[in-house]
Structure 1
Amino acid sequence: MTHFRENIVIKLKKAIFLTAFRRETSIKNNDELKKNFLPKESNYWPKDSASSKQSYSKILCSNFKLHFRKKHILFYSYGINNLSDYFSISRSYHESASIEHGKDNLTLTRRESLLSIADVPGPNSIPFLGSRLKYKPFGPWDENRLHIANIEKYNKYGPLVKEKNGLFSVDCLLLFDPNDVEKVFRQEGTCPFRPSFQAIVDHRRKNNYSLGLGQLQGEEWQYLRKTIQKRMMNVNAASPFIEMQEKTADDLIKLIRHTKSNQNSEIKDFIVYLQRWSLESIVSALLGQRLGCLELSNNNNSTEMDQLISDTCTIFESQYKLMIGVPWWKIFPTPSWIAFINSHERIFEICKRYTLKTLRKYKDPLNSQTSNHINATPESFVLKLAREKNLHLDDLLTTVTELMISGIQTTASAMAFNLYHLAVNKECQDKLRQEITETFRIKKEQFLDAETLRSMSYLRAVVWETSRLNPVAFGTVRVLDRPIELSGYRIPSGVPLIPQNMVMSRLPKYFKDHDKFIPERWLKHGIHKGFHPYCVLPYGHGPRMCIGRRFAEQELNLGLIKIIKTFAVSYEKEPIDSVTELIVKPDRPITLKFKEI
């Protein structure tokens, strides 16, 4: 039996070798290729390479010397147990003799000058723990302040850093050069592979839930994305909900007035109010309902809504711990895993109940003119999706759940950072208020519209400058199905690539006065132009960019307009930085003073 297994391994290696070198090559003579690059042992010559497409072996070609590793490819940190579910393993972890670079093939001399992934610098790793000993409590780095740790990695190792973190995980590459980030996104294809989180996948499959956009891959993801995208990513997709979201912002103003009058114009931990405002605004657009989260008097749903907000916080905190830590949860239920699953289930049940309530209210979504007339409100987003004949109810429920989970905390944190920067930069706040006042003077109408919002250039500049300094999404991950050259290194397919936009956006190399809040740099005739467009990507990029971008931008703009138009905002405490809990949040409670204008 042992001899049989050895023969199988040898044949498998033979098959992989020819498959790896079967692409177009500048060496036309195949005999010469075999003579120079195949191992000398005659038993390596393959008779049949058909089995190579199902190979799990790893090939590294460093200076065209072939090294085999029999270790299976397991992405434990990202929860990928079987890469064959997503793309052919025959293309994983190999370097062909012809690495595609634009439209041309690299010459042999050029290929020999490139370094392999084994040469990429990075922190030392040990079996089982990876680089965990570099993080607290053992080392100097704080996993909740990754932007600081990653700046140190960039300064020590350069624009491309290799790091291994988690049980049996493969090497991940941290990208600090926007040119490399651009290359990755330009080669991701129409169905980009972003690693799924196995805890969510397992839970949803166990309960027969739809996996949702965040976890699906390949053609299944593409089909669902196209169905939802045409309803959400159009430039004017969020425009019908402006009036609803503006009314929600008006309710926030009333709540601020009421609260500050009882607290000497000061509101402590203001992000709590922003979370309630974000939830109310999202539900009004998604479901066409008002929950009463911002009501001054009795709140019938206050307990349930507070639990919903708390559960969204728990989701991010626990998922982050599960992703970066040693995955004991794969062996036994850990406290973080239990908290994550319980919070996810409660959120799903609440979203399911309110979604079905909306659908029952309009029994026939294909003919909802009567119900719309009665309510005198635009058709909710859920009803728009319900019109899609090919969208299953399970997909709809999971979509609403994912939008709720991601939207509440990200929008609230983004608003908190915007208000903080405006509060400590009074001249910027005054410029924005001047633009708002002038806009309302010209418009002379009670409600804003999409065209007016797009015309407010300084408002957009404030939001983008805040996203540069404090992006609420730390970054994304891509796994390419083809080799790529990054910063002079040959990177095989199948390697997790993580753009570090939060670091790039703060580097003096790319931004003049990088540590200052200067919205003017984003204006058409700004004083600081010429920076790389891939340095700041607050909503991601490409086919897998944030699906709720239009709604989030509109909600944030309307909230800022209402607050700055009504109050002079100030902050007098210690400076605020960021903490990472899957999303990026303020590192301390934000206490703001509101003085009515």
Structure 2
Amino acid sequence: MSDTQGSPLPPEAAPGPDGLPVVGSFLESRCDFFAFRDRVAREHGGVARYEILGQSVFLLTDPDAIRRVLVGENERYEKGELFQQQLRPVLGNGLLNSEGEFWRRQRHLIQPAFTPDRIAGYGDMMVEATERTSARWDDGEVRDVHRDMMGLTLDIVARALAGVDIRDRTPAIGGALDTVMEQSAGGALVDLLPAWVPTPGRQALDEAVSSLDRIVDELIVEKRRALRAGEVESDDDVVAALLTATDEDGEHMADEQVRDEVKTLLLAGHETTALALTFTLHLLARHPDVEETLLAELESELGDEPAGVDSVRDLEYLDDVITESMRLLPPVHGILREPTEDVELGGYRIPEGTPLAISQWVVHRDPAHYDDPLEFRPERWTDEMEADLHPLAYFPFSSGPRRCVGDRFALLEAKLILATLLRRYAFEVVEPVDLEGCLEASITTRPTEPVRMRVRDR
């Protein structure tokens, strides 16, 4: 793919769809985001280029190129302008979108809140919250499972963050976060208007962010008072840990920065896990043979005992079910990066600041890596299969230094919730039967309508 001099080809030489004059591939990607990216990768390869309203975008689905960006040469890339436009108005300079030395400092301060021992300490709370939520369900009732999982995971992450039951405030938090995610989907022509134009969507987002800021500020004030009064310790919860953490210079995190980190953890800590749970319950209901195998494992390993941190560690098939669900329907469908200097990928020169779209959705469903990739087959995850799999052919939590800080928290939470719910209830699909046809590309992979399922007592 290089010229006779051995230097990389210019970016415009990279293969990709022709698109339309002026708008490029904007309309096609807006019409069906996932099908568009699937087509571009299938027809043009693992490093492809397309235009969106005059802006070149490189779609990366080649695991070797992805590994260079996320792992091997990660210092040459940052989240970039497109990502910041989506999240900085909401999350400020939180861990998800901060960069450079400031990000490294924040990661260092936050990491101790997610040690294995600290995460294990949340196990009983996760199970209790699940039992309390599901106790309100009636046999035969049709429920929006996505809404239920969003509420449950928000309850759990809020209690882990703040160390208190804040159910009286979770509806307001959940409503604000829902608005944030809905508006982040973007892609409508109205979003092309200058940032200062007060569209209804932007006004709704501003109101949601103000509401979220107000609630989180209240939590911080309450937690700081409790720390001063000796009512809580620095290691009791994440907010307390953030308020008392110091860097190598002995400096504490400013309250505004604590707020940004708490908002980031609230958003990232409930949305993706709720989606993984929703997708898994739906897939199990459509694959009774898989569900039967999983129920047999739960019965054999847990008996009549409630799920716990130690017991779910040994549930290998449950691990496989969650892994396969997050492969087939990744809650985070893609990652954005931009090079901070001219780079070479796939034999092409990519200029500084060019958006790179790294797609878990495409890679996870690529027949080059998986047999029958569109089939839900947890049994595919054998030791031999994983040994042969490219490390960047499966990356639901990203990879490299910016891998999700809460990945172990999320996986433990998903295991405990599923083990608790599935032994008490059977879930039957009502609608939509074809969940894949009702997904949109927000920051996450979101259903566009309620995921209705009937719950029956076992």
Same-fold status (TM-score > 0.5): yes
Does 1:269 find its partner at 2:144? yes
Does 1:155 find its partner at 2:42? yes
Could you tell me which residue of structure 2 aligns to residue 241 of structure 1?
122
Q: Which moved more, 1:191-200 or 1:401-410?
A: 191-200
1:188 touches 1:478 (CA, 8 Å); kept in 2? Answer: no
2:86 touches 2:184 (CA, 8 Å); kept in 1? Answer: no
Give me the whole-angstrom Cα distance separating, in 2, the residues matched to 1:291 and 1:144.
Answer: 39
From 458, 468, 474, the counterpart of 2:333? 474
Could you tell me which residue of structure 1 aligns to residue 237 of structure 2?
380
User: For 1:471, what is the secondary structure of its paired residue?
Assistant: coil
Does 1:185 find its partner at 2:70? yes
Could you tell me which residue of structure 2 aligns to residue 328 of structure 1?
193
Q: Could you give the per-residue CA deviations for residues 537-567 of structure 1, whole angstroms, max 9, x where no partner exists? A: 1111112222222222222111101011212
From 225, 228, 242, the counterpart of 2:107? 225
Could you tell me which residue of structure 2 aligns to residue 433 of structure 1?
295
Give me the whole-angstrom Cα distance separating, in 2, the residues matched to 1:200 and 1:120.
Answer: 27
Q: How far apart are residue 506 of structure 1 and its match? A: 1.3
Does 1:545 find its partner at 2:403? yes
1:174 touches 1:500 (CA, 8 Å); kept in 2? Answer: yes
Identity level (%)? 23
Q: How far apart are residue 423 of structure 1 and its match? A: 0.8
Q: How far apart are residue 492 of structure 1 and its match? A: 3.9
Which structure shows the higher helix fraction? 2
Q: Call closer, same or farther: CA 1:146–1:202 in 2, change over 3 Å.
A: closer
Over 4 Å off, 4+ runs: 125-128, 196-204, 322-326, 444-447
Q: Call closer, same or farther: CA 1:428–1:410 in 2, change over 3 Å.
A: same
From 470, 488, 500, the counterpart of 2:359? 500
2:284 touches 2:290 (CA, 8 Å); kept in 1? Answer: yes
Could you tell me which residue of structure 2 aligns to residue 488 of structure 1?
347
2:307 touches 2:416 (CA, 8 Å); kept in 1? Answer: no
- The residue type paired with residue 474 of structure 1 is H
Does 1:252 find its partner at 2:133? yes
1:413 touches 1:585 (CA, 8 Å); kept in 2? Answer: yes
Q: Call closer, same or farther: CA 1:342–1:572 in 2, change over 3 Å.
A: closer
Does 1:357 find its partner at 2:222? yes
Could you tell me which residue of structure 1 aligns to residue 11 of structure 2?
117
Structure 2 residue ranges without an equivalent (≥5): 247-251
Q: Call closer, same or farther: CA 1:445–1:570 in 2, change over 3 Å.
A: closer
Q: Which moved more, 1:417-426 or 1:583-592?
A: 583-592
Q: How far apart are residue 120 of structure 1 and its match? A: 0.9
- The residue type paired with residue 157 of structure 2 is I
Could you tell me which residue of structure 1 aligns to residue 249 of structure 2?
none
From 29, 38, 61, the counterpart of 1:176? 61
Could you tell me which residue of structure 2 aligns to residue 410 of structure 1?
272
Give me the whole-angstrom Cα distance separating, in 2, the residues matched to 1:252 and 1:499.
Answer: 36
Q: Could you give the per-residue CA deviations for residues 549-595 of structure 1, whole angstroms, max 9, x where no partner exists? A: 22222221111010112122222542211322221023442222223
Equivalences, count: 448
1:417 touches 1:586 (CA, 8 Å); kept in 2? Answer: no
- The residue type paired with residue 510 of structure 1 is H
- The residue type paired with residue 558 of structure 1 is L
Could you tell me which residue of structure 2 aligns to residue 90 of structure 1?
none
User: For 1:255, what is the secondary structure of its paired residue?
Assistant: coil
Q: Call closer, same or farther: CA 1:191–1:395 in 2, change over 3 Å.
A: farther
From 213, 220, 231, the counterpart of 1:348? 213
Could you tell me which residue of structure 2 aligns to residue 104 of structure 1?
none
Does 1:143 find its partner at 2:30? yes
Q: Call closer, same or farther: CA 1:288–1:324 in 2, change over 3 Å.
A: farther
Q: How far apart are residue 439 of structure 1 and its match? A: 2.2
User: For 1:510, what is the secondary structure of its paired residue?
Assistant: coil
- The residue type paired with residue 116 of structure 1 is P
1:117 touches 1:489 (CA, 8 Å); kept in 2? Answer: yes
Give me the whole-angstrom Cα distance separating, in 1, the residues matched to 2:330 and 2:5.
Answer: 41
Q: Could you give the per-residue CA deviations for residues 113-141 of structure 1, whole angstroms, max 9, x where no partner exists? A: x4321101223356763432xx1xxxxx3
User: For 1:276, what is the secondary structure of its paired residue?
Assistant: helix
Q: Call closer, same or farther: CA 1:359–1:575 in 2, change over 3 Å.
A: same
Q: How far apart are residue 156 of structure 1 and its match? A: 2.9
2:16 touches 2:48 (CA, 8 Å); kept in 1? Answer: yes
Give me the whole-angstrom Cα distance separating, in 1, the residues matched to 2:213 and 2:189.
Answer: 25
Give me the whole-angstrom Cα distance separating, in 1, the residues matched to 2:31 and 2:181.
Answer: 12
Give me the whole-angstrom Cα distance separating, in 2, the residues matched to 1:572 and 1:315.
Answer: 28
2:78 touches 2:339 (CA, 8 Å); kept in 1? Answer: yes
**Cα RMSD for the two superposed structures:** 2.8
- The residue type paired with residue 283 of structure 1 is A
Does 1:287 find its partner at 2:162? yes
Could you tell me which residue of structure 2 aligns to residue 586 of structure 1?
447
Q: Could you give the per-residue CA deviations for residues 212-254 of structure 1, whole angstroms, max 9, x where no partner exists? A: 223322212221122112322x344411111111111111221
Could you tell me which residue of structure 2 aligns to residue 448 of structure 1?
308
Q: How far apart are residue 270 of structure 1 and its match? A: 2.0
Give me the whole-angstrom Cα distance separating, in 2, the residues matched to 1:393 and 1:477.
Answer: 28
1:266 touches 1:591 (CA, 8 Å); kept in 2? Answer: no
User: For 1:477, what is the secondary structure of its paired residue?
Assistant: strand
- The residue type paired with residue 347 of structure 1 is L
- The residue type paired with residue 130 of structure 2 is A
Give me the whole-angstrom Cα distance separating, in 2, the residues matched to 1:318 and 1:161.
Answer: 28
User: For 2:383, what is the secondary structure of its paired residue?
Assistant: coil
